[in-house]
């Protein structure tokens, strides 16, 4: 198929094989057989836990045809169960070395380093588990989609999270033998929010009950995915690095869906307020009557998603984090661009902690603060889209600013897990927390309002009242394009 080859790297994806791939899968019969044995179980899982009610719909999806960042995807109407999930690795960087930790400078591992086998497997399994979890969390959303365009974006995100599972399962099955195959099977058996077999991380057992949650999730929680993938892309274990580098290209679209989804919601709110002559963003009842989401409720939704996502970074001070870094299995965000010794023996990092009832910043050994640093990088990375949202509000002439809550707000894990901290960063008592939490997080009444607002709008080119149409269509399609043909 005219592929440009570079040793084991193929830039074009082979779609002749049962499992699409750019890794010359047919040359590794044992791996091919193992993955082909897993494939029907994966499809069973997709049919059970994938988007409910839309398995027969023709959806305008993009499929990866290459790993060249320009022009890597084609678009076509596809039934989701027929989506060609496959294994795609970014090209190998010749001469790549381990970027951090005690093996820094040694050639990157092409096989699993024996002494770190268990730790590496755990890192891969934890990442892998989030991928099907998000599909499960979002499986009912198709029914209340505010437009075909949005429905299509939801399904695109869903099939790509499925592909991310494939990316991780490939690593488990190829490099971890029998226990890798067992882990691959268990990934299809755990279920989001299941009492007996829940997903591994807390945020992935939360509900994604409505479209605001979906947009907040894709902006804030997929961004945790971006940060974790970016850190794993720095792994000394080269196959993991290459898998994650390709996943990051897909992840960019998920973040786009989140940012523009919230942005378009804000746009609709501001336009409706202006049209009705409402200037006070806290005139909540009047604003809600316009069929849009008031900005204070958006802030509360954002507070919720930011705080549960911050917990995904784990304890700020962590031996596991230190071990993974020192072993060279997981780097920091943009490790290769950082200017230090990449080993951090004598370095410190400022970590916020609670001491005698006040928040203080302590310099702690940098190695043990790897998670804390990635969390700080994440918080900084969140701000760009928030600034762009605020620009929309400002342009509409409304006096309101969306903000990130304090790092310690509503945390269950890490330094702040045992405390109650307000969005402004004030330590408060349990009683004060209980009295005020409905001002900071969505209340039952807020959920009720959002729930009744989420009426489907499935006509091509039409949009629900609470969300503005996008500026451009997917793949430049016109405004009335039929993104989802219901089967």
Q: What is the DSSP code string of 163-219?
A: HHHHHHHHHHHHHSHHHHHHHHHHHHH--TT-SSS--SSGGGGS---SHHHHHHIII
Q: List Cβ neighbours of 484 (8 Å cut-off, separation of 6 or more).
A: 54, 57, 58, 59, 60, 148, 151, 152, 155, 458
Choose between 73 and 338: whose C-beta lies nearer to Fe ion. Answer: 73
Stretch that binds Fe ion, among 115-123, 214-222, 259-267, 442-450 (CB under 5 A): 214-222
Choose between 66 and 225: whose C-beta lies nearer to Fe ion. Answer: 225
- 164 part of the interface to Fe ion, by CB under 5 A: yes
Choose between 166 and 304: whose C-beta lies nearer to Fe ion. Answer: 166
Residue 360 CB, nearest approach to Fe ion (Å) = 35
Residue 134 CB, nearest approach to Fe ion (Å) = 7
Site map for Fe ion, 111-150, x if CB under 5 A?
Answer: --------------------x-------------------
- Contact between residue 399 and residue 412 where contact means Cβ atoms under 8 Å apart: no
Residue 237 CB, nearest approach to Fe ion (Å) = 19
Choose between 333 and 449: whose C-beta lies nearer to Fe ion. Answer: 333
Stretch that binds Fe ion, among 109-117, 155-163, 339-347, 388-396 (CB under 5 A): 155-163
Residue 29 CB, nearest approach to Fe ion (Å) = 29
Site map for Fe ion, 251-270, x if CB under 5 A?
Answer: x--x----------------
Choose between 155 and 466: whose C-beta lies nearer to Fe ion. Answer: 155
Cα–Cα distances in angstroms (integers) from residue 331 to residues 118, 223, 246, 273, in the given order:
17, 17, 17, 46
- Contact between residue 385 and residue 259 where contact means Cβ atoms under 8 Å apart: yes
Q: List Cβ neighbours of 101 (8 Å cut-off, separation of 6 or more).
A: 236, 325, 326, 327, 328, 329, 342, 343
Choose between 218 and 372: whose C-beta lies nearer to Fe ion. Answer: 218
Choose between 161 and 259: whose C-beta lies nearer to Fe ion. Answer: 161
Stretch that binds Fe ion, among 24-32, 105-113, 219-227, 394-402 (CB under 5 A): 219-227
Buried b (16+ CB within 10 A) or exposed e, 107-135: ebbeebbeebeebbbebbbbbbbbbbbbb
Which listed residue (222, 294, 415, 446) binds Fe ion by CB under 5 A?
222
Q: How many CB atoms lie within 10 A of CB 424?
A: 10
- 226 part of the interface to Fe ion, by CB under 5 A: no
Choose between 155 and 416: whose C-beta lies nearer to Fe ion. Answer: 155
Residue 251 CB, nearest approach to Fe ion (Å) = 5
Residue 76 CB, nearest approach to Fe ion (Å) = 21
Q: List Cβ neighbours of 442 (8 Å cut-off, separation of 6 or more).
A: 297, 300, 301, 304, 450
- Tokens for 394, please give them: 């400002």
Residues that bind Fe ion (CB under 5 A): 131, 161, 164, 222, 225, 251, 254
């Amino acid at each position: 198929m005219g592929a440009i080859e570079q040793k084991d790297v193929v830039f074009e994806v082979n779609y002749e094989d049962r499992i699409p791939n750019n890794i010359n899968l047919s040359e590794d019969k044992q791996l091919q057989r193992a993955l082909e044995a897993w494939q029907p179980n994966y499809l069973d899982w997709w049919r059970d836990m994938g988007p409910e009610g839309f398995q027969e719909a023709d959806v305008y999806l993009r499929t990866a045809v290459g790993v060249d960042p320009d022009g890597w995807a084609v678009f076509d109407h596809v039934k989701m169960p027929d989506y060609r999930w496959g294994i795609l690795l970014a090209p190998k960087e010749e001469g790549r070395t381990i970027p951090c930790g005690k093996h820094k400078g040694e050639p990157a591992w092409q096989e699993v380093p024996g002494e770190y086998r268990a730790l590496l497997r755990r890192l891969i399994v934890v990442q892998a588990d989030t991928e099907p979890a998000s599909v499960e969390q979002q499986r009912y959303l198709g029914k209340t989609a505010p437009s075909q365009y949005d429905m299509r974006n939801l399904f695109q995100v869903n099939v790509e999270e499925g592909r991310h599972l494939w990316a991780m399962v490939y690593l488990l099955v190829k490099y971890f033998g029998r226990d890798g195959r067992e882990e691959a099977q268990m990934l299809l058996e755990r279920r989001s929010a299941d009492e007996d077999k829940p997903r591994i991380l807390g945020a992935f057992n939360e509900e994604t009950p409505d479209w605001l949650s979906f947009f907040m999730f894709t902006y804030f929680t997929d961004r945790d995915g971006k940060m974790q993938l970016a850190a794993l892309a720095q792994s000394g274990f080269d196959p993991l690095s290459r898998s994650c580098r390709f996943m990051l290209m897909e992840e960019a679209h998920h973040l786009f869906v989140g940012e523009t989804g919230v942005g378009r919601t804000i746009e609709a709110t501001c336009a409706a307020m202006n049209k009705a002559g409402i200037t006070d963003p806290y005139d909540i009842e009047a604003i809600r009557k316009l069929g849009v989401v008031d900005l204070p409720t958006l802030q509360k939704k954002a507070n919720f998603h930011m705080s549960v996502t911050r917990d995904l970074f784990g304890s700020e001070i962590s031996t596991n984090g230190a071990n993974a870094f020192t072993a060279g299995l997981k780097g920091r965000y943009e490790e290769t661009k950082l200017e230090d010794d990449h080993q951090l023996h004598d370095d410190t990092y400022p970590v916020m902690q609670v001491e005698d009832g006040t928040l203080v910043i302590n310099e702690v050994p940098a190695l043990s603060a790897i998670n804390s640093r990635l969390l700080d990088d994440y918080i900084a990375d969140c701000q760009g889209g928030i600034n762009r949202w605020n620009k929309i509000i400002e342009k509409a002439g409304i006096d309101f600013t969306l903000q990130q809550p304090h790092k310690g707000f509503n945390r269950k894990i890490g330094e702040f897990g045992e405390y109650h901290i307000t969005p402004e960063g004030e330590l408060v008592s349990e009683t004060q927390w209980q009295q005020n939490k409905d001002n900071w997080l969505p209340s039952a009444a807020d959920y009720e309002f959002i729930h009744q607002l989420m009426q489907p709008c499935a006509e091509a080119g039409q949009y629900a009242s609470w969300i503005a149409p996008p500026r451009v269509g997917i793949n430049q399609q016109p405004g009335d394009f039929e993104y989802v043909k219901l089967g």
